[in-house]
Amino acid sequence: MNNTTIRQIAGFENQEVTLRGWLTHKRSSGKIHFLQLRDGSGTIQCVAAASDLSPELFSMIGFLTQESSLAIQGVVRADQRSAIGYELAVRNISVIGSSVDYPITNKEHGPGFLMDHRHLWIRSTRQHAILTIRGRISTYIRNFFESRGFLNTDAPIFTPSSCEGTTTLFPVDYFGEQVYLTQSGQLYGEAMAKAFGKIYTFGPTFRAEKSKTRRHLMEFWMVEPEAAFMTLDEDMELSEDLLVEITTRVLAECRKELQILERDISALEKVQKPFPRLHYADAWKKLRELGSSIAEDDDFGAEDETILTQQFDRPIIVHHFPSAMKAFYMKKDPDNPRYSLSMDILAPEGYGEIIGGGAREESLETLVAAIEHHKLPMQDFSWYLDLRRYGATPSAGFGLGLERTVAWICGIHHVRETIPFPRMLERNRP
């Protein structure tokens, strides 16, 4: 007996196979039961005709319940009406695991209920599509950096210090000493860029922010490339290339999933180089013209990002943010130190910031002054300062938030659907 999967079904036309999966829907019309079977790799219609089966088996099939796990033996038949081109003419069915009163039914469920049942909700067609795209985007990102010679490395999760103050950090008792869960691997990325030239880290990062917005998770995945000798211009180009690569591959390889999500394909097709590039000062002026009340040299709020990105049909790069709002390690523009060699990429359609990065300050003296100015504990950054004591170089990089990127690509409202088990302000289960 050929055990196979729905994804591979085309290779078995007119052959008898066994599929194993879960029953998602059932419909009966007198002498025929139509069963929708999903096995994780796809969904197929299985047709159980009374004329082909014993009366006992045909009757049993009538009692099968949603999300029962089944082994279905049958013959693969080409069928033009099928989305996958095939259906299965059932010869035998055995129940592997029963399912009584599956909680997620065809009726509307509230988000709280669905999140409580996240371990089951991920079986639904829509969540399957989102998380499949998430998995593939992760792979596209890795392949992109590998093909450009960036070495895959890992920054530590336990970090003794923080780049930007400790108020949004999760502290952990590390055998009597307080450490924090990382918010960014960047400082470590710089050390590794000086050993390997070009590196990327891709791991979970943590923010203990008391925010309950549709864009915030306490635990999210971030890819952070860093390259020695890279300039801000090269950094912008790299991030632009990455986003074009992601959308191009999603459009080529995730069509089925985008259809399920009813994603506007044309919006993704517009993600082509070059992205509009705006100096912060110009973006600021435009925002004020558009009615924003953004203060001088202030960071963009979510509302500002929405207003601004609605002016364009593709992601935009805002660069040279005011130095005052940026972290201590951000390099100032030598020609106008009011602004920094920083950049953000804002996704279109109101999705806001998905990339933030820039060039790092390479002068030891400037960096020491910045640490003092930010009142950060100098001792914690002694190792980081060593990167300037011993063969300092220009260095640049960025961080791309995976979940916000997936939300944008999938065209979904809330980041909670973009990660298998989201951790939010009031949600750490299941």
Piece in contact with a second copy (CB under 8 A), picked from 214-222, 269-277, 291-299, 330-338:
214-222
Candidates 61, 115, 179, 410: give the one binding a second copy (CB under 8 A).
Answer: 179
**Chain residues 57-76 in contact with a second copy, contact rule CB under 8 A:** 67-69
Whose CA is closest to 395, among 149, 142, 183, 198?
Answer: 198
Measured CA distances, 163 to 174, 197, 210, 263, 355 (Å): 19, 22, 19, 37, 17
Binding of residue 102 to a second copy (CB under 8 A): yes
Q: Map residues 224-253 to x or -, x wherever contact with a second copy holds by CB under 8 A.
A: ----xx------------------------
From the list 45-53, 137-145, 235-243, 296-304, the region that binds a second copy by CB under 8 A is 137-145
Query: Where in 197-327 does DSSP place strands (E)?
Result: 198-206, 219-228, 277-279, 316-319
> To the nearest whole angstrom, how small is the minimum distance from the Cβ of residue 330 to a second copy?
18
Angle ∠(47,50,53) on CA atoms, nearest 5: 90
| CB nearer a second copy, residue 286 or residue 423 | 423
CB count in 10 Å sphere of residue 285 = 12
172 binds a second copy (CB under 8 A): yes
CB of 69 to a second copy, least distance (A): 4
Judged by CB under 8 A, the number of residues near a second copy is 95
321 binds a second copy (CB under 8 A): no
| Pairing mode, strands 86-97 and 43-49 | parallel
Verify binding: residue 368, a second copy, rule CB under 8 A. Answer: no
Whole-angstrom Cα distance, residue 319 to residue 339? Answer: 9
How far apart are the C-alpha atoms of 297 and 399, rounded to whole Å? 22
Is residue 149 a contact residue for a second copy (CB under 8 A)? yes
Least CB distance to a second copy at residue 389 (A): 7
Smaller CB separation from a second copy, 150 or 275: 150
Alpha carbons 218 and 258: distance in angstroms, whole number: 27
- Residue labelled with tokens 């081109």: 85
State which of residues 17, 76, 115, 155 lies at the interface with a second copy (CB under 8 A): 155
